[in-house]
Amino acid sequence: MSVLRAVKGMNDVLPDEVGRWQRLEAIFARIASLYGFAEVRTPYVEPTGLFVRTIGEATDVVEKEMYSFARHDESLTLRPEGTAGAARAYVEHAIHGKETVTRWYYVGPMFRGERPARGRYRQFSQAGAEIFGDPGPGCDAELIDMLVAFLGELGIGDAQVSINSLGSGDARARYRDALTAHLTPLRASLSDDSQRRLASNPLRILDSKDPRDREQLQGAPLLGEFLSVEDQDHFDRLRRQLDVLGIAYAVDPKLVRGLDYYTRTLFEIKGATAKLGAGDTLVGGGRYDRMIAELGGPEVPSIGFAAGLERLLIASELAEGPVGDRIFVATLGARAAEEGLVLARDLRRAGMRVEVDTRGHSLKSQLRRANTMAARVALILGDSEVEGQKVVVKDLAGHGQTEEPRSGVVAAVGALLATPAPRSP
Ligand code: HAM
């Protein structure tokens, strides 16, 4: 029979890798809470229209990457990102009526039908944060500061922050016209993708990596030239705030990002390029001041970011972390097997991690198992020990062995675990 495999681009995380995931998620949750964010959990499935309206019809995500399906006469989509769902929940629960500024974070799987590569998957996980109700630019800088702290804690030393401003709606529309006017006479020299985008979404041509497009973009007007006085002031104040916080960054006038909802501040953080290659964008974010109103809420300026957890795990040296000592209970004989489960339960109630073997195998085979799981202590319980109300306690690190009364064995094991394991030669 052929073996069934996971869907291409969707990966299992097996127990020996889960420790790193849990540490990463715990570090993010701790830092997010230090910066005043509370966790929100929204559904993995949303009405397709939510993503079309917010991310934009002419984006790669909506055009080619969404997992959409029909159910009960409704078109539904596995969420390709977290911002649209968070904004929908914010409007649906009228959070703006309850508090003036809202800070939410989330961690969870997202789905995009992209071509799988290192650091690029069809199911991937994001850690994201959104601020609703603060026009910035102070909180824009604060978000970047939080990310620098987060990446620093993960030991990603070479992270590079890029920022840009897209301006508000009007500036962007005028820039779009100017860019289209510049590129239209050069259309035939652009890549196929960019020829198509010239009509649908010309700003996306700016982050094309195709050398033909890069050449035609030389001498193209730059977004920065179209910012209004207010947009420019917002951007200048963001830069000043980053300087005051001592955060190094580069202004990248060609940074536009692939989602249509952005206004004003945009940022990306790249890092660990040697490990990630072209997919080295660890974090992307920006301001989306119109989205809440477009979803039927009031005018609520908003900003956020999301980081790809798989990419962070590739980039960081994060170890699994200490897991604590483990205890193995070996049982020999029918009564010992029964009593072994009681002993294991007593130890677990005292907070110890225990595995018990009641399969009736030889002591040698059970102790081999204790060694493979790197147990610190093996407890041996045979029918004669049960009879005599005793347990043999074997220190697998120190190689000593004692016999303890059953009534005192939990305390004895606790004391043993509290002493450091002798170093192996
Ligand atoms: P994004 O740039 O599309 O932005 O994704 C953010 C991050 O998610 C990327 O920098 C990357 O680390 C990770 N990522 C994206 N696609 C994949 C993939 N196929 N495989 C692995 N990792 C991936 C957003 O999603 C916005 N919602 C960010 C945001 C929040 N903007 C405002 N608020």
Average pLDDT over residues 305-328: 88
Average pLDDT over residues 90-98: 98
Confidence (pLDDT) at 78: 98
Confidence (pLDDT) at 134: 98
In this prediction, residue 120 has a pLDDT band, given cuts at 50, 70 and 90, of: very high
- Per the CB < 8 A criterion, the answer to whether 356 and 381 are in contact is no
In this prediction, residue 322 has a pLDDT band, given cuts at 50, 70 and 90, of: low
| pLDDT above 80: residue 323 | no
Confidence (pLDDT) at 425: 44
Question: Average pLDDT of the chain?
Answer: 93
Full DSSP string of 162-206: EEEE---HHHHHHHHHHHHHHHGGGGGGS-HHHHHHHHH-GGGGG
Q: How many whole angstroms from 15 Cα to the centroid of ligand 1? A: 25
Question: Cis (ω within 30 of 0) for the bond into 425?
Answer: no
Integer Cα distance of 390 and 411 in angstroms: 13
Average pLDDT over residues 313-321: 84
19-64 per-position pLDDT tens digit: 999 999 999 999 999 999 999 999 999 999 999 999 998 888 999 9
Confidence (pLDDT) at 50: 98
Integer Cα distance of 256 and 1 in angstroms: 49
356-376 per-position pLDDT tens digit: 999 999 999 999 999 998 899
Query: Pairing relation of β-strands 74-78 and 67-71?
Result: antiparallel
Q: How many whole angstroms from 412 Cα to the centroid of ligand 1? A: 51
Q: Which atom of ligand 1 is nearest to the CA of 311?
A: 12
Integer Cα distance of 329 and 307 in angstroms: 43
The pocket around ligand 1, CB under 6 angstroms, is made up of: 81-83, 112, 114, 119-121, 124, 126, 128, 130, 258-259, 281-286, 288, 304-308, 310-311
pTM assigned to the model:
0.90
Average pLDDT over residues 220-225: 88
148-188 per-position pLDDT tens digit: 999 999 999 889 999 999 998 788 888 989 999 999 999 99
Q: How many whole angstroms from 83 Cα to the centroid of ligand 1? A: 10
* DSSP letter, residue 227: -
Q: How many whole angstroms from 126 Cα to the centroid of ligand 1? A: 7
Residue 137 in tokens? 């630019």
Q: Which helix (H) or strand (E) holds 135?
A: none
